[in-house]
Amino acid sequence: MSDNKNNMSHWADQMAERIIREKGEKPLYTCASGITPSGTVHIGNFREIITVDLVVRALRERGKNVRFIYSWDDYDVFRKVPKNMKDPELLASYLRKPITLVPDTSGVAENYARANEVRVENILPTVGIYPEYIYQAARYRAGYYAEGIKRALEKKEEIKAILNEWRTEPLGDDWFPVSVFSSFTDKDNTKVTDWDGEYKITYTDLDENKSETIDIRSTPNTKLPWRVDWPMRWAKEGVDFEPGGKDHLTEGGSYDTSKKVVELFGGTAPVSMRYDFIKLKGMGGKISSSGGEVADLYDVLEIYTPEIVRYMFVGTRPNSEFAISFDLDVLKIYEDYDNCERIYFGLLDVKEQRKEKEKRIYELSQVDSDHIPTEPGYQAPFRHLCNLFLIHESNVDEALESISDVTEGQKDRLRARLVCAKNWLEKYAPEEFKWSLATTTDPIDVKDNERQALKDLASYVNSYLDEMNEKEFSTYIYKAAADNGIENADFFTLTYRALISKEKGPKLAGFIKTVGKEKILQILSKY
């Protein structure tokens, strides 16, 4: 790995330096991220995770000891049933309960929240991200935050004053900085009515109209509301860095109030940075809970290899919005990545400043930061891989075998790309990208001169294909057309119809060569 101590070309490095500058030299730096797993954790949520991962890497490369915590805010309340969930009526009966008490109607995990968590925890190692997970429901229920809750109650007036700075409707005199899940119903439709100055609070269940006094240590149904919970945890964990979406990082947003509230808990606010949303392009109408398109990391990893997924985030400033494309842009993204790789390995000469930047992007894009590749990948254009895959009748292994000049070090990466090409073709590619060899279909109807032209072509394939390059062989394609009085354009169309039952196809000479003599002749011999 190169020495990045002074490399400031990338935003993650700049952020790492800022954290060290603002927080001072510390034996341990804590970087945090987190979300409420109340639905699919989508690719926009992933942006926060990888943003932290990149800063963590930059800090570690500076020799720092870093803890990366990811908070599952699964003691939050189940507020609405996402549209695409199984058994919505059953789920609806659990509204207002904590999401860990909601059943998982998909049947994969012990509860609703856990199902969403597991999905993320299983996939993050694929892109080289290994946070330490913290489960808030378990912590709250174990009384882990009892002192924090007590502290919040003690500082009730100060907290109220801070929150009221931005509220249109000030919090009333009867407000307490805690919310309670009822012991009777598990729901949060409750109102706290009294606090004894120590650990006991009294609340009323508004559904059942029953009251009860509980000890927050032994009956931990109590949780802090978000704007108090967040700063309490900053203080508890000593968080030095945590990014946020633009909803949090706006004036009067939760970061603003939390950085004041955290002081009441004896802590200081972490360094933060704002990330923007991710748009999707070309997915073709996958419906999310909110009615728009949604994709999660699994969807993206189907068509982009892990390093390219990282590359898209690494190469974009977090505070600008960008789109992840599932359409033809995929080809360009692969090309861009290959360009970056060529620059890294010195195969493409660019200005020094750009070179430094691209090299850093390449490093941070790699899944394993300790093992940056020592040779570039096999840089076949994505489109070519699509064609190889189709030539070999949708068999990835055969397609891989057909490429002879691949080194051992390139093989795994190339296979991963072929699988992505396969997935892209099957799910997102436009029709003109898809075809199959007409080896088993009946011959098309042709006129006599067309038949003769195809016979000529077969003969040229038989005699010359193996020993010629694309360009040399292409002259025989034109010869076959010209000798039989067919316009070039018409002959190309004819040949595509004969070979792949379509009007157009991949560049013909190269295509014939890639398919190989045997299969081409198998088809052309029908004429």
CA distance 168 to 489: 70
Establish if 71 lies at the interface with RNA (CB under 7 A). no
Q: Please report, as residue ranges, which positions from 103 to 142 form the binding site for RNA (by CB under 7 A).
A: none
Q: Is 184 in the site for RNA (CB under 7 A)?
A: no
* Residue placing its CB nearer to RNA in the complex, 36 or 305: 36
- What is the size of the binding site for RNA (CB under 7 A)? 49
| One of 2, 65, 93, 319 touching RNA (CB under 7 A) | 319
Dist. CA 193–CA 197, nearest whole Å = 13
* 190-195 and 200-205 strand pairing: antiparallel
Q: Which of residues 360-419 bind RNA (CB under 7 A)?
A: 383
509 binds RNA (CB under 7 A): yes
CA-based nearest residue to 68, from 52, 89, 90: 52
User: Nearest-CA neighbor of 453 among 435, 415, 480?
Assistant: 480
CB of 188 to RNA, least distance (A): 8
Is residue 502 at the binding interface for RNA, with CB under 7 A as the rule? Answer: no
Which one of residues 5, 80, 83, 246 is an interface residue with RNA (CB under 7 A)?
246
472 near RNA, rule: CB under 7 A: no
Q: Which of 478, 483, 485, 525 binds RNA (CB under 7 A)?
A: 478
Query: Among 214, 328, 406, 446, which residue interacts with RNA (rule: CB under 7 A)?
Result: 328
Using alpha carbons, list the distances in angstroms from residue 455 to 161, 459, 521, 523.
Answer: 88, 6, 10, 11
Q: Is 289 in the site for RNA (CB under 7 A)?
A: no
DSSP annotation of 201 = E
Does 317 bind RNA (CB under 7 A)? Our answer is: yes
Interface positions, 194-233, toward RNA (CB under 7 A): 225-227, 229
Closer by beta carbon to RNA, 290 or else 439: 290
Choosing from 89, 168, 440, 467, the residue that interacts with RNA (CB under 7 A) is: 168
* Beta strands, E only, 172-302: 179-180, 190-195, 200-205, 210-215, 222-223, 244-245, 274-275, 278-281
The number of helices, as runs of H, and strands, as runs of E, in the chain is 21, 12
Name which position in 1, 2, 79, 375 contacts RNA (CB under 7 A). 79
Any contact of residue 166 with RNA (CB under 7 A)? yes
| Least distance between RNA and beta carbon 208 (Å) | 21
Nearer to RNA, 86 or 167 (CB): 167
Phi, psi of 244, rounded to the nearest 5 degrees: -150, 155
Q: Which residues contact 331 (CB under 8 A, 6 or more apart)?
A: 381, 382, 383
**Closest to RNA by CB, 413 or 479:** 479
Angle between helices 306-314 and 352-365 (to 10 degrees): 130
Residue with Cβ nearer RNA (36 or 204)? 36
- Judged by CB under 7 A, the chain residues 33 through 52 that form the site for RNA are 36
What's the half-sphere exposure (Cβ side, CA atoms, 13 Å) at 404?
1
Cα torsion for 509, 513, 516, 519, to the nearest 10°?
-10
273 contributes a contact to RNA by CB under 7 A? no
Q: Which stretch binds RNA (CB under 7 A): 52-60, 407-415, 440-448, 486-494?
A: 486-494
Q: Which ranges in 193-325 belong to alpha helices (H)?
A: 226-237, 254-264, 297-303, 306-314
The residues with which 149 forms a beta bridge, in sequence order, are: none
Q: Which helix (H) or strand (E) holds 72?
A: strand 66-72
- Contacts with RNA, residue ranges (CB under 7 A): 8-9, 36, 73, 76-77, 79, 166-169, 179, 225-227, 229, 246-248, 250-254, 274, 276, 316-317, 319-320, 328, 331-332, 383, 432-433, 474-475, 478, 488-489, 492, 496, 504-509
